[in-house]
Chains A and B, each alone.
Chain A
Amino acid sequence: MLKKLFMLIVAGFFLASCAATKTEQGGDVDAASASSSSSSGGEITAGTQEDLIVNVGDRVFFEFDSSELTVDAQATLDAQAAWLMQYPDTNITVEGHADERGTREYNLALGDKRAFSVYSYLAQAGIDTNRMEYVSWGKERPEVIGSDETAYSQNRRGVTIVSN
């Protein structure tokens, strides 16, 4: 113990000398990740996120602790695939999300499986995988705030985001 004290004094306070916070390059994840759900009173431009939301449906929902696509989810994804065929210059990112009733790490894993379910369904429906990316947000980005099943059922979701 005394030896350690000596070391401490000689060596100085290593942990106190943490370098100052560095600014990282790259986009503002926190803002960019928020799922788009804008609605405007004007015309909807074809091939945009808004078009997808209003005329096709941008998301599918999952059962508790499941990454399997329900019949409803498959119908939505069939429509998304058709829409993506119609707008071949459109690229997308599929986000997978979980409700808050699980650990952070398990929900990251579950969110990835959900995102991949959507991604691979669209791929099988003929969408070029070069047009698609997917990412898990686990339980970190709920769509609906609240600690009840109403919120949870909305948060167990896969969301298709137009990325260009």
Chain B
Amino acid sequence: MIKKILIVLFFSFNANAALEVTISQGKVEPTPIAITQIFGADSDTARYGNTLRQIISNNLTNSGLFYTVNEDLYIQSDNLVEKVPRFEDWKLIKAQFLLSADVSKTDKGIRLRMRLYDVFNAKEIEKLQLTIPDENLIRRVGHTVSDIVYERITGETGYFDTRIVYVSEIGPLDQRVKRLAIMDQDGHIDSHQFLTDGKNMVLTPRFAPNKQLITYMEYKNNLPRVYIYNLKTGEREIVGDFPGMTFAPRFSPDSQSVVMSFSDPNNAANSEIYLMDLNTRSRSRLTNDSGIDTSPSFSPDGKKIVFNSDRGGSPQLFIMDKNGDNIKRISKGRGVYGNPVWSPRGDLIAFTKLTQGNFHIGVMDVNGNNERVIVRDFALESPAWSPNGRYLIFHRQKRSNLDGTGGEVTIHFIDITGYNERIIPTPRDGSDPAWSPLL
């Protein structure tokens, strides 16, 4: 059923290919899923069950592809892990899928058993049993079960067992304190952690495909340089230790290199794009032009790089080979382009565009065709892809006023159809979000 809907969605993408058109088709009716109580025999296991049910239900609902049928409507209230459901009862309340689970304590840890049923075809489509050593893993288990359900029903790769690194912001707009912070993709407060103390300004964190490293820019001793943060050890290491500013870093798909901008004082501090091999620490220069070259982003196959350059006058998007050859402009519309990010599926490039006083976040084919605007507002920036290439996160900033008010900046999630936008909650303001790969 869902697959059919997704195919329809695919065609509506192609039918909606005009420049400057906000996608208004392709809205998916969410599929109703019933999630029974996740049963537990004692107060601990009942609590784990409640937490798991909440995580799974929120994840599926937030995807825009599901909604959880209201529990009050459920006719059958049994644990359906060991028992065949009365499918007629679930059909009656229009649940297309049914998830039931229970939690118990064993001598090895916490045991979760789960069954997923296709109600209309009256059959089990997935079952799972796992034991986790301690309750600190409950949130990740909830995300992983969500991924299993999402993948089993939609046929697409899930994205729930992932994290978002971002810049946490606080303080007056002219003296903002900016810290690296990390959280689960749902922004749940229990998963939130600060990685830096705010003493030095940090900007533009990005995950490595190997999941263990983050590259970002930090002003240490007033020197803006590219660093790597190791999530396992908490160590910070400079990688852009050049005699000038290094910034706008991103990993190559094999996590062995970082591509970044370097403003060389011997080149009139004009930003060029460099590739730094993390093993040999050798650097190679990829661009050579009197304009600004920045915001490089690799294609997922590692063969091409999309970047931002004002070599033709105003900032536009260009593509080149990974060695800097064959530079071609791809942005075609009017406006000032920036922030290009290659999708993990390889087929699209997300970008920002400033035109007629507003920022737009959109996507275009890798040759620049079929530009589509997804969201428009006074200030939007930093699009980042979900690992399955279906969603974007970005930040939105309000206008600020002379008296110092305004300027609030928040992280948002949106389907690339332009539907289902929501705020990802952060304890303070948040900007520059970047998504981890599936963990």
Contacts and interface: CB of A to CB of B under 8 A. Distances in A.
Q: Do A and B come from one complex?
A: yes
Interface of A: 1-2, 4-6, 8-9, 12-24, 26-34, 65, 93, 100-106, 108-110, 112-113, 115-116, 120, 134-136, 140-147, 151
A142 B295 CA distance: 22
A101 B401 CA distance: 15
Contacts of B436: 15
Given A135-B223, A145-B404, A16 B136 contact: yes
Given A19-B234, A147-B399, A8 B432 contact: no
A145 B268 contact: no
Contacts of A8: 137, 140, 144, 439
A13 B231 CA distance: 11
Given A30-B175, A140-B176, A23 B248 contact: no
The 10 closest A-B pairs by CB, nearest first: A19-B234, A116-B269, A103-B338, A147-B399, A109-B271, A105-B248, A112-B263, A109-B292, A146-B402, A112-B269
Interface in B93-132: 128, 130-132
Interface of B: 128, 130-133, 136-137, 140-141, 144, 147-148, 151, 163, 171-178, 182, 193-201, 203-204, 211-212, 217, 219-224, 231-236, 244-245, 247-248, 261, 263, 265, 268-271, 292, 294-295, 308, 310, 314-315, 336, 338-339, 352, 354, 378-379, 381-382, 399-404, 406-407, 432, 436, 439
B294 A26 contact: no
Contacts of B194: 21
B272 to A, nearest CB: 10
Question: In terms of DSSP, what is the predominant structure of the interface of chain B?
Answer: mixed
Given A21-B195, A105-B261, A145-B401, A112 B151 contact: no
A104 B381 CA distance: 8
A26 B261 contact: no
Nearest to A163: B222
Contact of B197 (A5, A21, A112): A21
A134 B264 CA distance: 12
A6 to B, nearest CB: 8
Contacts of B203: 104, 108, 140
Contact of A1 (B131, B147, B382): B147
Nearest to A26: B221
Contact of A13 (B137, B234, B270, B407): B137
Contacts of A141: 174-175
A102 B354 contact: yes
Contacts of A109: 247, 261, 263, 270-271, 292, 294
Contact of A144 (B136, B219, B336, B402): B402
30 contacts: A1-B148, A8-B144, A9-B132, A9-B137, A15-B439, A19-B233, A20-B234, A22-B236, A29-B199, A29-B201, A30-B176, A30-B177, A33-B222, A102-B338, A103-B308, A104-B203, A105-B247, A106-B308, A108-B261, A109-B247, A110-B292, A113-B269, A116-B265, A136-B245, A140-B201, A141-B174, A145-B174, A145-B401, A145-B403, A147-B400
B276 to A, nearest CB: 17
A5 B130 contact: yes
Given A9-B131, A136-B263, A145-B400, A26 B200 contact: yes
A14 B231 CA distance: 8
B295 A103 contact: yes
Nearest to B407: A145
A136 to B, nearest CB: 6
Given A1-B151, A13-B136, A103-B339, A26 B199 contact: yes
Contact of A104 (B141, B176, B195, B382): B382
Nearest to A6: B130
Nearest to A24: B199
A144 to B, nearest CB: 7
A26 B220 contact: yes
